[in-house]
A and B are shown apart, each in its own frame.
Chain A
């Protein structure tokens, strides 16, 4: 998997209420509609600013708080290419993999807002083309690679009739 785009920076502990507020998510299953409000409490108008394939780049504990799967889905439907963070909250991390939103654990202090990045997930490296630096990516657990290779949990289940990590 290869991605290219611009960095949009956020801080530590970005919770799922900030990613998509409860006042929207209870009303609809239309993720394109929810995507219009993604990150708006932290950065009003974020949906308008983000170009297809751009990256959310954050500090530690990204996606903490509620278990809402609308959070990774709203990011995905806003056409964000991947989320890069120093660390992720575990429920968000699982939800992202299950729904096919790439999540990348790496040292995001080396990335500034507006930096042009390219990411090669197989090779496990980020090229910060604005700074001319290479940033290593923390590899995913083997189970998650298996789920991602099948295309998410739904295709994994359809293919194997349940969990199959052998």
Chain B
């Protein structure tokens, strides 16, 4: 009987044949914490009796969620992280370097076949690099920092077969929103998912990250893809390390197989206050927005900024809209500058904020007012997510957000292409 991708990665990292339902203790290739979770992990590290991290080269902290610090409480926790990483001798990415889920792939430390834990639920992003990466809490993170290991229940896998190719104006964000709407927010709880099919193969590597990033929004433990030439070309920009791709066996056993026709897809929007409350953009079009956000670990990459600039070039945002842009890393910011994208965005009226999580988690950089509506490229639209429970958040692709910023209301981006 064949194995799925996650069964193979957990087999190679645990030294036993891992099958769905088994419990294994697996070796970790990389362990990451961010400023919302690392401070508690530092406390747990002491509580677990930790002295040193298992391998200084395979551990990192990232200050991205609330960076630069907006108040003294956050400052104290950032200081704690800086002191701990210095004392233990491992890497800390400080303010302005970017979002953890952009920095780890850019570090070259994660690739096909890797097993990574991160104390952030969107750690599943690196599934687009054919890695099993998953989000954990602070105590599991502390256990991983000390031992380089974690226990896992081997999950069953749902396979999505995405046939056809996305039409112009429809992006990977629209595809993943559509799939989440179809299976719902707990449709893949306790499961891994594999994204396959012509539509996935046709996407750029950057666009694929957006899909794996949101696997958690259907409850999944991992959002895996197979590696291809595009994956290896992307990795070669950052590392000369050799990775061995992991493919699913033809006779692998899946819990469920779901097909979709990507060629027929329209731009999608997730309405308040649920990520699975998804409709084609026509179902929300015309709704006035006061704030638009482009960035986050979902859609803050160079390609996303380029798509937004394609719509905003030579135009101005609507007078009643604030447009906030947070590149996902310093490298993305510099590349976008070199390409003239930042010039275009700022001339259109965008406000650039620090590479990092931006206003997504409600700590700074644009907390909406009561009764306001935000359209964002982020991955969550929970009530209060952006710091005000009396505001509404719609989720969409960078193109839809850019088009909506121009018109002042939710708009189908195909009108601009």
Contact = CB atoms under 8 A, between A and B. Distances in A.
Q: Do A and B bind each other?
A: yes
B151 A28 contact: no
Given A26-B74, A142-B23, A154 B40 contact: no
Contacts of B74: 26-27
A13 B382 CA distance: 10
A66 to B, nearest CB: 5
Interface of A: 12-13, 15, 17-18, 21-23, 25-29, 41, 60-61, 64-70, 72-73, 87, 89-92, 94-95, 98-99, 141-143, 152-154, 157-158, 161-163, 165
Given A13-B274, A29-B43, 6 more contacts: A23-B363, A41-B389, A66-B36, A68-B137, A91-B135, A91-B136
B137 A67 contact: yes
A161 B367 CA distance: 45
B382 A60 contact: no
B137 A22 contact: no
Given A17-B382, A41-B383, A154 B65 contact: no
A157 B380 contact: no
Contacts of B385: 17, 22
Given A29-B39, A89-B186, A153-B143, A165 B23 contact: yes
A18 B383 contact: yes
B140 A94 contact: yes
A26 B36 contact: yes
Nearest to B50: A157
A1 to B, nearest CB: 19
28 contacts: A13-B274, A17-B380, A17-B383, A21-B384, A22-B65, A23-B387, A26-B73, A27-B74, A27-B77, A28-B77, A29-B39, A29-B40, A66-B36, A67-B123, A67-B135, A67-B137, A68-B137, A87-B189, A90-B189, A95-B137, A143-B23, A154-B47, A154-B48, A158-B48, A158-B49, A163-B149, A165-B23, A165-B25
A65 B228 CA distance: 30
Contacts of B143: 153, 157, 163
Give the 8 A-B CB pairs with smallest separation, nearest first: A27-B73, A95-B137, A61-B186, A69-B137, A98-B139, A154-B47, A157-B48, A22-B361
Instruction: Give the most central of A66, A73, A98, A157: most B CB within 10 Å.
Output: A66
Interface residues of B, number: 55
B300 interface: no
B121 A29 contact: no
A67 B389 contact: no
Contacts of A68: 36-37, 137
A142 B21 CA distance: 12
A152 B35 CA distance: 23
A64 B190 CA distance: 11
Interface string B121-151: 1010000000000011111101100110111
A64 B383 contact: no
B71 interface: yes
A60 B219 CA distance: 11
Given A13-B274, A65-B380, A22 B139 contact: no
B137 A18 contact: no
A65 B383 CA distance: 12
A28 B186 contact: no
B36 A41 contact: no
Given A26-B74, A67-B119, A142-B23, A61 B43 contact: no
